[in-house]
């Protein structure tokens, strides 16, 4: 029993239970503070997830920038290599022609008879043909051949019964091919039989 305002009262068991409940609620209150800590932890979990995603994004953007720079460097290097290849290929093509130029220079410096000069030019012409043959440049056969539009360009049709129809009777300008590729067609006159 306890005295309240000078009166004695009987303690109620409910009051004890309530105080016990309050004692038990105190740890429960701690649980609430833990749950509030968990909710702030949960709030920090999305924050840390966001930080991870940002770091991953930054890493991917950095890798992308590096790959783009590397691709650009490879592209530039390939363009330079192709240009170097073209330059050196042209140099390799020109080199065999230099002795021909030397021969022309010597022929033009010498004062000689027209017949000797003609013989010298013939030799230079053969030297030039040999140099071109080494480069796989070949003349296209024309005179006496059947007209072939792939290799011949007809400049004139001449009516004649002396040769078969569509035969090349005269070569006006020699044609050339490089390996199997046409460099320049031969300009020709082509026979046309009368009455056809």
Residue 95: what pLDDT?
84
Instruction: Identify whether the C-beta of residue 124 lies closer than 8 Å to the C-beta of residue 157.
Output: no
The domain boundary residue, chosen from 90, 114, 148: 90
Domain that includes residue 71, residue range: 14-90
Q: How confident is the model at residue 40 (pLDDT cuts 50, 70, 90)?
A: low
The CA angle 151-153-154, to the nearest 5 degrees, is: 135
Residue 6: what pLDDT?
52
Mean pLDDT of the chain: 80
Contacts of 155 (CB under 8 A, 6+ apart): 172, 187, 188, 189
User: Six-digit token pair at 78?
Assistant: 């390939």
Q: Tell the burial category of 186 from Cβ atoms under 10 Å away from its Cβ (0-12, 13-18, 19+).
A: buried
Would you say residue 130 lies in a domain?
no
Residue 27 clears pLDDT 70, i.e. is over it? no
Residue 72 clears pLDDT 90, i.e. is over it? yes
Average of per-residue pLDDT across 177-193: 92
pTM above 0.95, yes or no: no
Tens of pLDDT, residue by residue over 1-23, are 545 555 555 555 444 454 444 44
Q: Rounded to an integer, what distance in angstroms lies between the CA atom of residue 70 and that of residue 51?
A: 28
The domain boundary residue, chosen from 33, 67, 90: 90
Residue 66: what pLDDT?
95
Contacts of 156 (CB under 8 A, 6+ apart): 189, 190
* 58 φ, ψ (degrees, to nearest 5): -60, -40
The domain boundary residue, chosen from 70, 90, 110: 90
Say if residue 80 is in the same domain as residue 147.
no
Residue 58: what pLDDT?
94
Tens of pLDDT, residue by residue over 108-136, are 888 878 888 888 888 999 999 998 898 88
For residue 167, give the CATH number of its domain. Answer: 2.30.22.10
């Amino acid at each position: 029993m306890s005295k309240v305002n000078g009166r004695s009262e009987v303690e109620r068991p409910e009051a004890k239970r309530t105080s016990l409940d309050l004692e038990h609620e105190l740890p429960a209150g701690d649980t609430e503070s833990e749950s509030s800590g968990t909710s702030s932890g949960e709030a920090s979990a999305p924050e840390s997830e966001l930080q991870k995603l940002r770091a991953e994004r930054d890493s991917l953007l950095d890798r992308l920038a590096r790959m783009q720079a590397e691709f650009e460097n490879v592209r530039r290097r390939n363009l330079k290599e192709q240009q170097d290849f073209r330059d050196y290929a042209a140099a390799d093509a020109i080199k065999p022609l230099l002795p021909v130029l030397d021969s022309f220079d010597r022929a033009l410096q010498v004062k000689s008879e027209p017949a000797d000069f003609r013989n010298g030019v013939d030799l230079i012409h053969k030297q030039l043909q040999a140099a071109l043959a080494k480069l796989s440049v070949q003349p296209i056969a024309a005179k006496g051949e059947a007209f072939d539009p792939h290799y011949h360009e007809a400049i004139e049709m001449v009516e004649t019964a002396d040769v078969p129809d569509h035969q090349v009777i005269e070569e006006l300008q020699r044609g050339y091919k490089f390996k199997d590729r046409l460099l320049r067609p031969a300009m020709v006159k082509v026979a046309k039989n009368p009455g056809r």
